[in-house]
Amino acid sequence: MIHPKRAMILAAGLAKRMRPLTDHTPKPLLHLHGKTLLDHALDRLAAAGVEMAVVNTYWCADQIKDHLAARTEGPETVISPEQDLLDTGGGVRAALDLLGKEPFYVINGDAFWLDGPIPALERLATHFAAGGADSVLLLHRTSQVRADVGFGDFALDKWGVPRRRAEREVVPYIYAGVHVMTPSLLDGMPDGAFSMNLAWDRAIAAGRLRALVHDGIWFHLSKPGDLADAESMLREDT
């Protein structure tokens, strides 16, 4: 069994679709269900046994830095500042020296979920430990999302092998903003900014990408209305 001890939280984006809430606040510091999205992610990582989390910053970077400095719970956090936006793949690649050579989690700064019977991070680690993949993605059923998710992101076969949707195709799963990966996933990737999708597509072509479907609740937080709807749903469940 693999138990990742390090993780990356992607917190550098501009979150333009969440404006005006993000005009002067980074999206990971928006509050939901009593705490910031960033704290929710860090708490999940701590519960999974992660000891150190790298958090990249760009928009309102000082706010994130101050927030992390005031946090008293684990895991330890390290800032990876970006002078220019590096996108999802470039941001992780820039932090590889901090993340080390072992597998680690990557969580979008706006990812928020409720676990099913087994914590999602534990399920990802278990699937990754089975071997044969450079990364395992957490997916969620589009039919269970109360938000506009377009035509979906992936189809998935019974062996957990994902496939990108074809043009004009509707597929049943959306990426849930969480995955576990080995640093070798980014071998040969370009310097500077690039999307993690570039590495995933290469892994798909090599048969080295896997995915699993989340068995709990997941919230798509793209626009202010999504955040309000999530808050309302969570209040109803408590």
- Candidate from 32-46, 85-99, 149-163, 204-218 with smallest mean pLDDT: 149-163
**pLDDT for 2:** 79
Full-prediction pTM beyond 0.85? yes
- Sorted by where each begins, the domain ranges of the chain are 6-237
pLDDT > 90 fraction of the chain, expressed in percent and rounded:
79
Locate tokens 């993690």: which residue?
Answer: 196
Q: What is the mean pLDDT of residues 147-174?
A: 90
**pLDDT for 35:** 95
**pLDDT for 236:** 72
- pLDDT of 79-134, one tens digit each? 999 999 999 999 999 999 999 999 999 999 999 999 999 999 999 999 999 888 99
Q: What is the mean pLDDT of residues 64-76?
A: 94
With respect to CATH, is domain 6-237 assigned 3.40.1000.10?
Answer: no
The terminus-to-terminus CA distance of the chain in angstroms comes to: 34
- 209-213 and 162-164 as β-strands: parallel, antiparallel, unpaired? unpaired
Distance CA 123, CA 158 (A): 16
Q: What is the mean pLDDT of residues 213-224?
A: 92
